[in-house]
Amino acid sequence: MRNLFTTLLANIALVATITSCDKRNTELEGRACIAMLMPAYIEFNVVGAGTGADLFFSPQPQYQPAQICFFKIKDKLFQDTIRPQVIGASNSRYFKMQIDNTRLKDTLIMKLPVNAQNATPELLTYTIRKDEQECPQYVSDQAFLNNVELINASGKLLFRR
């Protein structure tokens, strides 16, 4: 009788251990996704407010890609320049810039060469969210340039100037 009770108790312990291992493995899989945090990006073009022509990548661009830069809002001396990458070729080029995916909302200062149309720096405010994939990542959600929501056209934001 004692052997039967010991065997029964051992079987219950074995089932409990196997069940808890399965549960722990599921939890660990979720943690593995979190450990693989990928960078978040904003992809954009800067177009003329009146014409809609690309100001950087049109046949007669108003600006050169090296002339656009961003700064963190706290960088009052404009020392830590953030330059977006140019992606694509010929007339399908756009800018791609890595954004801080540790903050749900952030603001950057966008600077272009000063002329009569853009005498002051512009503020780019964006929010990020978790996407709905198996291993969720942070992605760009909304973006505003000087408090005006930016249009998302084919996965790229349009900065109208």
Residue 119 confidence (pLDDT): 63
Residue pair 101/40 in contact (Cβ under 8 Å)? The answer is: yes
Query: Quick check: 43 pLDDT over 90?
Result: yes
Question: Can you give the pTM of this predicted structure?
Answer: 0.72
Rounded Cα distance between 95 and 87, Å, is 6
Q: Residue 22: which pLDDT band, with cuts at 50, 70 and 90?
A: very low
Q: What is the C-alpha to C-alpha distance for residues 112 and 84, in angstroms, rounded to an integer?
A: 13
Looking at the chain, the whole-number percentage of residues with pLDDT higher than 70 is 73
Q: What is the mean pLDDT of residues 81-101?
A: 90
**Cβ count within 10 A of residue 128:** 22
**The predicted structure's pLDDT at residue 77:** 80
Residue 79 has φ and ψ, to the nearest 5°, of -100, -35
